[in-house]
Amino acid sequence: MLCLEFAIPPLPQFVTAGHAVWKPGDRHFARTFGVYDLLLVTKGTFYMTEEQTEYEVGAGKLLV
Distance CA 51, CA 60 (A): 24
What is the per-residue pLDDT for 54? 93
What is the per-residue pLDDT for 33? 66
Looking at the predicted structure, is the pLDDT value of residue 56 above 80? yes
- Give the tens place of pLDDT for each residue, 1-55: 677 776 666 665 666 777 888 888 888 777 776 667 788 898 999 898 888 899 9
What is the per-residue pLDDT for 7? 67
Distance CA 46, CA 40 (A): 9
Give Cα separations from 53 to 15, 18, 23, 44, 56 (angstroms): 25, 24, 22, 20, 10
What is the per-residue pLDDT for 55? 93
Residues 6+ apart with CB under 8 A from 44: 59
